[in-house]
C-alpha cells in the first residue's frame, strides 16, 4: 500500500487525513501553521518540512488555502519538488486558480513527476464523513493510480479534463453555490418580512424545482442562527476572486458573481469573514431589518 504524504491540516485537510488513516494508509504529515499531534497519535508520522514529506511518500496530497500557499509548498524552498521521489504523484486538493495548477504541473512534469489538481466540494461535514465531491484534472493513467486513495475521501471522484480542469470545475461549483445561497437568502428574507413562517416556506418548497442541496444544507443553519463555519466567507471570497480573474482572462462576463462578491465583501467589513457562507442571509436581514429564524 502506498505511503501518503499529507500537507495542510486545517478545517478540511485534517478530517481528510484521518479518513486515510482509518482506511489503513500510512501517512506522513506536515503543516507549517497547525499542530498535528492528534494525527501522530492515530499513527501518522510527523515531518519537519514539505521536502521531508515528499522524500518519504509515494503520493503527496496538499490541501492549502490558495495559489501562493500551494506554490510555496510544492515549488518553494524545502518544497515538495526538492524531495519528491521518482514515480511519485502529487495531488493538490486545494481550491486555487487554474493557471496556478498548470504552472505547478509543468514544473513537476519537468522533473518527471505526475500531478493532479483535485479540488473538493462539500465542506467540513463531508470531509469528516468522507463523502466529498472531488473534481480532478490530469491525465487518465495518473488519475486511475490515485483514484482508490481519493475514493477514501469522497463519494464522487470524476476526471474532468487535463491539469487545471479540476479547478475550473471547482470555480463553476463555487459560483453556483454562492448564487444559490444569495437567492435563498433573498427569498427567505422576503417571505419572513411578509409574515410567512420561514420553516413552513422551507417545508413547502424544498421538494420542488427550487429545492437544492444548498438549500437543504444552509436553510436549517439560517433558521437556527447557526453560522459556525463549514465553509468560511473569507474562503468563498478567495474562490470568487479566482473565478473573476479567470473569467476576465478568458473574456467571460460573470456579473452575478461580481454582485455576490460585493455582498461577501460587505459581510467581511462587518466582521463576518470567519462565519459560514450561509451568513450571506445576514446582509439581506440587515437591509430589510428582519431576521429569518424559527
Handedness of CA 47, 50, 52, 56 (dihedral sign): positive
Buried b (16+ CB within 10 A) or exposed e, 45-82: bbbebbbbbbbbbbbbbbbbbbbebbbebbbbeebbbb
In whole angstroms, give the CA distance from residue 157 to residue 149. Answer: 10
Please count the CA atoms within 13 angstroms of the CA of 154 that sit on its side-chain side: 22
In whole angstroms, give the CA distance from residue 81 to residue 192. Answer: 54
Eight-state DSSP code of residue 135:
E
Identify the CA nearest to 293 among candidates 193, 181, 180, 178.
Answer: 193
Collapsing DSSP to helix, strand or coil, 120 comes out as: strand
Q: Which helix (H) or strand (E) holds 187?
A: helix 165-193
Marked catalytic residue, from 18, 71, 126, 170: 170
The Cα-based distances of 36 to 40, 48, 74 in angstroms read: 7, 11, 20
Strands 132-137 and 120-121, bridge-based pairing: antiparallel
Q: Which residues contact 252 (CB under 8 A, 6 or more apart)?
A: none
Q: Does residue 170 have an active-site annotation?
A: yes
Catalytic residue list: 170
Amino acid at each position: 500500500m502506498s505511503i501518503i504524504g499529507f500537507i495542510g491540516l486545517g478545517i478540511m485537510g485534517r478530517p481528510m487525513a484521518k479518513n486515510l488513516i482509518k482506511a489503513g494508509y500510512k501517512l506522513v504529515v506536515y503543516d507549517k501553521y497547525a499542530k498535528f499531534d492528534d494525527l501522530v497519535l492515530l499513527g501518522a508520522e510527523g515531518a519537519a518540512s514539505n521536502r521531508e514529506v515528499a522524500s518519504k511518500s509515494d503520493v503527496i496530497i496538499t490541501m492549502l488555502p490558495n495559489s501562493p500557499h500551494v506554490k510555496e509548498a510544492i515549488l518553494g524552498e524545502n518544497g515538495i519538488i526538492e524531495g519528491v521521489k521518482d514515480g511519485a504523484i502529487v495531488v493538490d486538493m486545494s481550491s486555487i486558480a487554474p493557471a496556478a495548477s498548470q504552472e505547478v504541473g509543468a514544473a513537476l512534469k519537468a522533473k518527471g513527476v505526475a500531478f493532479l489538481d483535485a479540488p473538493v466540494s462539500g465542506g467540513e461535514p463531508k470531509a469528516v464523513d468522507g463523502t466529498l465531491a472531488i473534481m480532478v484534472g490530469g491525465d487518465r493513467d495518473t488519475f486511475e493510480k490515485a483514484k482508490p486513495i481519493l475514493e477514501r475521501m469522497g463519494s464522487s471522484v470524476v476526471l474532468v479534463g487535463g491539469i487545471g480542469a479540476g479547478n475550473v470545475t471547482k470555480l463553476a461549483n463555487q459560483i453556483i453555490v454562492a448564487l444559490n445561497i444569495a437567492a435563498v437568502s433573498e427569498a427567505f428574507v422576503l417571505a419572513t418580512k411578509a409574515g410567512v413562517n420561514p420553516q413552513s416556506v422551507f417545508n413547502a418548497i424544498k421538494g420542488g424545482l427550487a429545492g437544492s442541496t444548498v438549500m437543504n444544507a444552509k436553510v436549517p443553519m439560517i433558521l437556527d442562527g447557526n453560522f459556525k463555519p463549514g465553509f468560511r466567507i473569507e474562503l468563498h471570497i478567495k474562490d470568487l476572486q479566482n473565478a473573476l480573474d479567470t473569467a476576465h482572462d478568458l473574456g467571460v462576463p460573470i456579473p452575478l458573481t461580481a454582485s455576490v462578491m460585493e455582498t461577501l465583501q460587505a459581510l467581511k467589513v462587518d466582521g463576518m469573514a470567519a462565519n459560514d457562507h450561509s451568513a450571506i442571509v445576514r446582509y439581506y436581514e440587515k437591509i430589510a431589518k428582519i431576521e429569518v429564524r424559527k
